[in-house]
Structure 1
């Protein structure tokens, strides 16, 4: 590999990382909200497990991302899945875990919530990164893994802020709901145009 190839690859990798950082902010909010109801000892394991599983799925999706573009209705399905995640988050915010009427969130529930939200919200991220990586799988995988690691750090900060300032959780829910509605809107138009 020549030095020109390495330079091109490094520039491409930098583009991939910037795309990931720009598109992963809403994911960090979801992860932070998912672990906010957990006991302090379970927050970090939930973030690591959820983001670890999400990383594997993202890299797998990235490997087939260009084929995903051809699947009509995928964006709509992801938006509907994210809308369900929003409903679950709304219920948690409305009935905090410290009340007696609801049992505390488990580590498994938090990891599942992170995974479902990340998969549904990551389609735009994965497709943008796959387009920028220009068929270089190592750039795609490196960029996605790095972005997920950065998202995990941001999610930990978001979770701590949510514990202190409950109103931020409602703002976060609004952001996630906006993303879900946007995905449903664009996915619905995509399905209607294909009919």
Structure 2
């Protein structure tokens, strides 16, 4: 029971700090549009991010069960941690907060006639969302470890946070930087756990697969 509660807590923290990337990209793209297009750009941007998360979740759940890919996933998650560390050091939550506020203020940002189409803005958002959605899904899938309820909860929470609380989250993260550092610590722990399982797990680990170690069961309940 306690392990399950801790896992849900990890997912909540991961969703909170990893929503910053999406908020920054969507806010910056929308702020460059004429005011009358911004609300639609923010809405469509959120929808794109949500769809990508669902697609990646289905794919990640299947792929992480393939021997060796859990180990590769852990390396990707360590890279996410490094990128997040740099973003925290460079004040990304403050940038994201400002970008979302500018995009939501019709008198801020670019206020002239449309100079960029909605399609081009959404294309920029989609390209950026591909990597950011993968980050989020990889972290949630690693924590859920095959638990469908937990995976659905993590994805649903990420989508709700992006849709209704992106600006509030950015304000909180900008005001209380320790939350971002706590989130980074949690992600490093998850990546480390994933790395351990990706190497030693008897069914999916690269160690047993390459004959380096005998391996043993490392999933939930072991």
In the superposition, the TM-score normalised over structure 1's length comes to 0.54
Aligned residues: 158
Aligned pair partner of 1:151 in 139, 161, 164: 161
Q: Does 1:57 align with 2:67?
A: no
Tell me if 1:123 matches 2:133.
no
Q: Which residue does the alignment assign to 2:187?
A: 180
**Structure 1 residue runs without a partner (length 5+):** 1-18, 99-106, 134-139
Distance 2:41 2:147 in 1: 31
1:62 Cα deviation from its structure 2 partner: 2.9
Unpaired runs of at least 5, structure 2 = 1-6, 32-37, 99-120, 201-205, 208-222
Distance 1:95 1:132 in 2: 34
Residue 44 to residue 179, structure 1, CA distance change in 2 (3 Å):
farther
1:160 & 1:171 partners in 2: Cα distance? 13
| Greater share of residues in helix | 1
SS state at 1:72 partner: helix
Residue aligned with 2:70, SS = coil
Confirm or deny: 8 A CA contact 2:94 2:171 kept in the other structure. Answer: no
RMSD, aligned α-carbons? 4.4
Cα distance in 2 for partners of 1:94, 1:155 equals 11
Residue 18 of structure 2: aligned partner: 30
Higher RCO by CA contacts (8 Å cutoff, separation 6 or greater)? 1
